[in-house]
Structure 1
Amino acid sequence: MAGSFVGAVQFLVKGGPVMVPLLAASLLAVAVMIERAIVLGRASRDSSPLMECVRRCIGQGETTEAVRACEAAGTPVGRVLAAGLQARHLPEERLEKVMEEQAMAELPDLNRRLSVLDTVVTVAPLLGLLGTVTGMIRSFGIMAQSGIDRPHGITGGVAEALIATAFGLAVAITTLVVYNWLSEKVRDVTAQMEIRATQLVNLLAAVEVAPVEPGAPAPRVGERAGR
């Protein structure tokens, strides 16, 4: 274990000074990946059970209970549905606007810190390239001073160049893969908010009390008046 750690440190040292910002960028990226994976994992949970609960509560006339269930879910979809239920007495167009505003308010939290990963994806290869340049400069400088009498110094500069480039590319590739996965999670949550909001509008429209003839039974959920 100790030998592996020492070997890793020696590897990083061989990469030259540029390895310091590269290592810092990689640690920052890992921290953001873990935090966003946890947050977006919770936010993108399947909202079908929640929607079914809302449908059941509304069908039983327990709208307050439906609002409670949505708020207790603690997800963007739940908050959008809760906003719609609390504005259920508004006209349909205004109801849609209320839920749209809530959905837009959720987006900044969903996209938070993803720009950090995007920056690391861009900067890491450039830092690796900088390490390549500085390593080659070092090699040519040694060669200019002592010719080929110091092969270890020359190969050390080449190693510095290659290690920095490889590490920068590894950081960028890994971060890019995770960034795309997290972005897909955000798109999934956004789609769920849109779908559930539309379903709620349709559900509330279906349970509105429609005029019926005296003595005729009131329409059930999803059943038109007059049928």
Structure 2
Amino acid sequence: MNTNLLHDVTFYVMYGAVAIALFIIVERGLYFAYVKRQARQLYEQLGPAGTNDAGLSAGQRGRPSLPLTMVEEVLRQKSAGGTSKDLDDVIETQYLSSRAPLARSLWIIETIVTAAPLLGLLGTILGIIDTFKALASAGVSDPGQISAGIGTALYATGLGIAIALFCVIFHNLFQDRLARINDQLKMLLIRAAMGGVDDQSAQRPLQGAQYRTA
């Protein structure tokens, strides 16, 4: 078994993990910002009295987004004239269906947080084994070579820990933003459902939506 090759492969895997993490961080950051902005604009456009499907501006309807899809389904159900229970079911369905697109790829960052220190430790072990093998075959002629080999091996552990720390910061940040966006989408769905109904009947979909989406 070529431990030197395995040691190098471990480094390449960790560098690849960094590249993947950076891509996901940038992609999720832009996506969360877009969804949050679209949800805020729709919330303001609906207003306290709400609107119907035709009341959305052309500019708003021309930019497909997760909040727009959710609101259109609620407004479509409201225009169909179903019961409050049917409207509650649509709200709950749309709210639950929003979780998968928002949380997409975040599990990869969480996996990197767990795996990076282990890969670093594996690289250190392989590097030390390779150093001892070199010493066994050539003997100890220069103590500096031993220090250099062990230092290179320990670098793998340091790199793995640094990658994990970097990823855990953004993972926690995205979890916080995910919770905030979920709350914002919940409020958007409730406002879309409340528009155009009288005060007495409005309490039923509001209470049902709050209970079901909590």
Cα-to-partner distance string for 1:41-72 (whole Å, 9 max, x where unaligned): 1112273442232137847xx65123867644
**Percent of residue pairs bearing the same amino acid type:** 23
Which of 54, 64, 67 is matched with 1:77 structurally?
Answer: 67
What is the alpha-carbon root mean square deviation over aligned residues? 2.8
Deviation at 1:127, TM superposition (A): 0.7
Deviation at 1:18, TM superposition (A): 1.9
Q: Which residue does the alignment assign to 1:166?
A: 158
Higher helix share: 2
Greater relative contact order (CA < 8 Å, ≥ 6 in sequence): 2
Q: Which residue does the alignment assign to 1:37?
A: 29
Q: How many residues are matched?
A: 194
Q: Which residue does the alignment assign to 1:65?
A: 55
Which of 100, 103, 110 is matched with 1:111 structurally?
Answer: 103
The answer on whether the counterparts of 1:77 and 1:189 sit within 8 Å (CA) in structure 2 is: no
For residues 187-202 of structure 1, the aligned pairs below 5 Å read 187-202=179-194
Please report the TM-score for the alignment, with normalisation by the length of structure 1: 0.73
Unaligned runs of 5+ in 1: 1-14, 210-227
1:204 aligns to what SS in structure 2? coil
Q: Which residue does the alignment assign to 1:204?
A: 196
The answer on whether the counterparts of 1:121 and 1:172 sit within 8 Å (CA) in structure 2 is: yes
Please report the TM-score for the alignment, with normalisation by the length of structure 2: 0.77
Deviation at 1:125, TM superposition (A): 0.7
Distance 1:152 1:162 in 2: 15
1:86 aligns with 2:81: no
The answer on whether the counterparts of 1:16 and 1:164 sit within 8 Å (CA) in structure 2 is: no
Sort the Cα spacing of 1:190 and 1:85 in 2 relative to 1 into closer, same or farther, 3 A.
same
Instruction: Report which of the two structures shows the higher radius of gyration computed on alpha carbons.
Output: 1
